[in-house]
Structure 1
């Protein structure tokens, strides 16, 4: 029987390369570019500090066993120069990879460890795209980097659909051009997800889009005018509303261990 979270996503080989790709962008920035708007009220400097904070918090919790309430990290980092922030970011590179490669990512858990690693990668990759767009750098959107992000966001669907009642065997079909196909299935005890096209000729609902539109939809940065043409939905209205309202923070929070 397929586990509710679906088959493992292996992003371990991508972690250092994703970090190095962002360092390459940051290393070329001129001082004014650090102040460019990147996401909401956050600048490139703020968003870089946020990504660094995510990494350091994960290392503190999962490597060092240090659990503490979240502090206002980004405002505190505004007193740091871009040079100091960049040096701290470089110093953190590869540490998460070193942490995870010595752990059994397949060990049984309520939320498998491989999914924790994948969610962190997806979050950091998404923030990197916002930084790249802010400074006019090409996106890191090759399929090898982008497809695991799409895959990870979709793994939240069994939790997102938990309030939807459907007979066992009903399917929700998701097709993302440039990434692949996924099927969410109702069972007697909830929903599960797996890679591959739906086998039902009349799924409960379906989503069809492209990889670029999908991550933008999840990050809340897909213009409403484009959503209607780039994200095609059909089927049960309640399920379609859930598919259309996927957002990065909510998706990733459903994949985070308690």
Structure 2
């Protein structure tokens, strides 16, 4: 029985970027127009990947604050601002050719990797991982969050153009492990007696087991717990990442999940969202 440790994914970025480059260079003209997620096409998602990489470099590496950045005063303001900024960029980027998007992504993807290598993983990140309920996060967690963004958007593209996904343990387990750090936050308002144990089991080559334990009026995340849980949730790895990134409706996800013990305790995980927007 142990608490989860840091997730170090910086060295996965070059591999993930290379996989993306190979994928994008293989696409036909019609592939770029295919619907990928929501109202976005494959080309729109590629443009979004470029946008988020550029913004990361501008704000974090270059310490640049845009003059049009608004003051965020309510809990919904950050989400609304991000959604607006995302939409503005995607609309403007429709003027860019696929070739330009590919070339720019290759360049700035490498620059972001080089920047991440300079960061002390334990120092405070410029961005907290808000979907995990954190006001302050270490760099390793923020970088892991960035990795989940890059991975799941590439996976959306792969599914849209009917290509094999990057779902081996090397690529997907760090995504799921990062997402699981949100469990205590999503259960924060769930009342239970001391030492109540909830097990989340994700099946598949990239899966694993994570445990929530109620201690001193809060939930803690643990690994390797041998005691019998009060509730167990079981789901395939593809259901997990899609549910947590709003790529699968709760009702559809629940039909592919199984529950043991107190079902209502387990069902709380259906509310877990590990993206902003």
Establish whether residue 106 from structure 1 lines up as the match of residue 132 from structure 2. Answer: no
What's the RMSD between the two structures over aligned residues? Answer: 2.3
Residue 80 of structure 1 pairs with residue 88 of structure 2:
no
TM-score normalised by the chain length of structure 1 = 0.86
TM-score after normalising by structure 2: 0.81
Structure 2 CA distance for aligned equivalents of residues 206 and 48 of structure 1: 37
- Structure 2 gaps of 5+ residues are 70-81, 126-135
Give the paired residue count. Answer: 247
Matched, 1:201 2:228: yes
- The 8 Å contact of residues 7 and 194 in structure 1, kept in 2 or not, is answered as no
Question: Residues 2 and 223 of structure 2 are in contact (CA less than 8 Å); yes or no, is this contact kept in structure 1?
Answer: no
Confirm whether residue 190 of structure 1 aligns to residue 218 of structure 2: yes
Q: Which is further off, 115-124 or 169-178?
A: 169-178
Displacement of 1:46: 0.4
The change in CA–CA distance for 1:245 and 1:235 in structure 2 (over 3 A counts) is farther
- Structural mapping, 1:1-258, within 5 Å: 6-68=4-66, 69=69, 71=85, 72-107=88-123, 110-177=136-203, 178=205, 179-188=207-216, 190-196=218-224, 198-203=225-230, 205-222=231-248, 227-249=253-275
Shift of 1:169: 2.2
The answer to whether the 8 Å contact 2:36/2:156 transfers is yes
Kept after mapping to 1: 8 A contact 2:202/2:237: yes
1:61-94 Cα deviation digits (max 9, x unpaired): 2111123335311111111111222221111122
Consecutive unaligned residues in structure 1, runs of 5 or more: 254-258
Q: What whole-Å deviation, never above 9, does each CA across 1:220-249 have from its counterpart, x for those lacking one?
A: 334667534421124445433321232332
Partner Cα distance (1:148, 1:189) in 2: 29
